[in-house]
Amino acid sequence: MKLKDKQIAIIGGGPGGLTLAKLLQLQGAAVKVYERDINKYARVQGSPLDLHDESGLAALRKAGLMDAFKANFMPGADKSMIMDPAATVFFSDHEHKQEENFGDPHFRPEIDRGALRKILLESLAPDTVVWNSRFASMEQQDVGWLITLGDGSKVYADLVIAADGANSKLRPYLTDIKPFYSGIIMLEGVIYNATTTAPRISALLKGGKIMAFGKEQNLLLGQKAHDEIGFYASFKADADWINNNGPDYGNRASLLAWFKEKYSDWAPIWNELFEVTELPVIPRPIYCMPLDQSWPAKANLTMLGDAAHVMPPFAGEGVNMAMLDALELSECLASPHTTLQESIEAYETKMCQRAAAAAKESLDNGEMMHAADALDNMLAFFGSP
Ligand SMILES: Cc1cc2nc3c(=O)[nH]c(=O)nc-3n(C[C@H](O)[C@H](O)[C@H](O)COP(=O)(O)OP(=O)(O)OC[C@H]3O[C@@H](n4cnc5c(N)ncnc54)[C@H](O)[C@@H]3O)c2cc1C
């Protein structure tokens, strides 16, 4: 086995890195995950994730974690409504969508990011994840790398996998290619105890998702675990908007004034989002990796997930691609017919092509969802009259 007696370091304990750690441990490999979060209780930001049968769920099946997934997903959270700025419902699948339909490729169950991390963590051998370990730099040593962590300590690994997300510090060791700005900014908010703090929005949401479309701007809401609601105000803006034209993200009065002006033709019910959201809200400029990227493969370093191919979230593919990367990389590394370098090259070639197709779909969806006629576009997309 190629990985016998090799020490593997995965940098980043997101869904991609942890899935890979689990799949490699099933092969008997020696794996450590270095994660900058202080411990396993660190709050995982972001909306729930819908896992797709052929990618995210396929990786969990291979990892033997489907029972754990079924015990932790959020039935009904994938039910969607499409609305206009007046909160008029134009499409809803609440009435006929089944809450559990595993095996149907169109069933995309939602899971809270924290719950997914917990499932993966609990499946790993004890002490696999080294918490509070921020990757700082690395230098070549022997056949592998000497990694320096944020506290100055050093660890050696024969094979390093960059799973450290969109702002990867390891990516430059493989390529200079950088992501481009998509022209869209999403302001992310979260509401705790939503049933009592945001009763009108909570009743509107009905435990599922809302996509409300105006002209070149929208609101995307989703039920999270523990009676939380996550939401995004998503709109087109110049790249420097965050620093020059945005509101004060930690100041409620400033945020509300900005929202009422920016979304001036939207019904008052949406104000509740900014009246009660936790502060600060987080501005997320949406980036995408070039679709034609490639780099010379190395025998001791590769990457997966957002580090390799960050893309806009408008096709719900990001986490699914990250987990499928983990599945395919683990399979390539297990092949008895190739060297380590050949395995990594085969993985990267396929991964770049697959991710480019998903990124193209995500960019196209982003344009459609932020067009002047976004509501009509989305109703046609969802097959509504
Ligand atoms: C606004 C928004 C909404 C999204 N919505 C969806 C969606 O609905 N569906 C979907 O599929 N995807 C969505 N995504 C994308 C999705 O979050 C990512 O594609 C997915 O999390 C990628 O997984 P990953 O494991 O590659 O990286 P990440 O989840 O980013 O994990 C990276 C890990 O590395 C750690 N790390 C970072 N730097 C270091 C360092 N220097 N040292 C050590 N550790 C480090 C981080 O703490 C983190 O734990 C969204 C993204 C955004 C921005």
pLDDT digits (tens, 9 = 90+) for 343-352: 999 999 999 9
Q: Which ligand 1 atom lies nearest to the CA of residue 307? A: 26
Predicted confidence at residue 101, as pLDDT, reads 84
Cα separations in angstroms, 57 against 40, 64, 282, 289 = 23, 10, 29, 24
14 within ligand 1 shell (Cβ under 6 A): yes
* Ranges of the chain with pLDDT below 50: 385
Q: What is the pLDDT of residues 31-59, one digit of tens each?
A: 999 999 999 988 777 788 999 999 999 99
Which residues in the chain belong to E strands, given as ranges?
7-11, 30-34, 49-50, 80-83, 89-92, 110-111, 129-130, 135-141, 144-149, 154-157, 159-162, 180-191, 209-213, 217-223, 229-236, 282-288, 301-303
Which residues in 258-364 belong to E strands, given as ranges?
282-288, 301-303
165 within ligand 1 shell (Cβ under 6 A): yes
Give the 3-state secondary structure percentages of the chain, helix then strand then coil, rounded to 5. Answer: 35, 25, 45
Sign of CA dihedral 17, 22, 24, 25: positive
- Whole-angstrom Cα distance, residue 199 to residue 366? 30
320 within ligand 1 shell (Cβ under 6 A): yes
Q: Which ligand 1 atom lies nearest to the CA of residue 136? A: 41
Q: How would you classify the pairing of strands 80-83 and 49-50?
A: unpaired
- Two tokens, residue 146: 């000497």
- Whole-angstrom Cα distance, residue 235 to residue 186? 7
Is the Cβ–Cβ distance between 128 and 9 less than 8 Å?
A: no
- Cα torsion at 311, 316, 322, 324 (round to 10°)? -130
186 within ligand 1 shell (Cβ under 6 A): yes
- Whole-angstrom Cα distance, residue 184 to residue 236? 4
- Whole-angstrom Cα distance, residue 371 to residue 235? 10
Q: How would you classify the pairing of strands 180-191 and 229-236?
A: antiparallel
Predicted confidence at residue 385, as pLDDT, reads 44
Under DSSP, the state recorded for 171 is: G
3-class state of residue 207 by DSSP: coil
Measured by CA distance, the residue closest to atom 6 of ligand 1 is 313
- Whole-angstrom Cα distance, residue 19 to residue 31? 12
Predicted confidence at residue 186, as pLDDT, reads 96
Measured by CA distance, the residue closest to atom 30 of ligand 1 is 165
Q: What is the pLDDT of residues 147-204, one digit of tens each?
A: 999 999 999 999 999 999 999 999 999 999 999 999 999 999 999 999 999 999 999 9
- Whole-angstrom Cα distance, residue 250 to residue 302? 38
12 within ligand 1 shell (Cβ under 6 A): yes
Provide the 10 A C-beta neighbour count for residue 175.
14
Instruction: Tell which one of 57, 319, 361 to mutate to probe ligand 1, the residue whose CB is within 8 A of the most ligand atoms.
Output: 319
112 within ligand 1 shell (Cβ under 6 A): no
Instruction: Tell which one of 32, 35, 44 to mutate to probe ligand 1, the residue whose CB is within 8 A of the most ligand atoms.
Output: 35
- Whole-angstrom Cα distance, residue 320 to residue 296? 25
Q: What is the pLDDT of residues 292-308, one digit of tens each?
A: 999 999 999 999 999 99
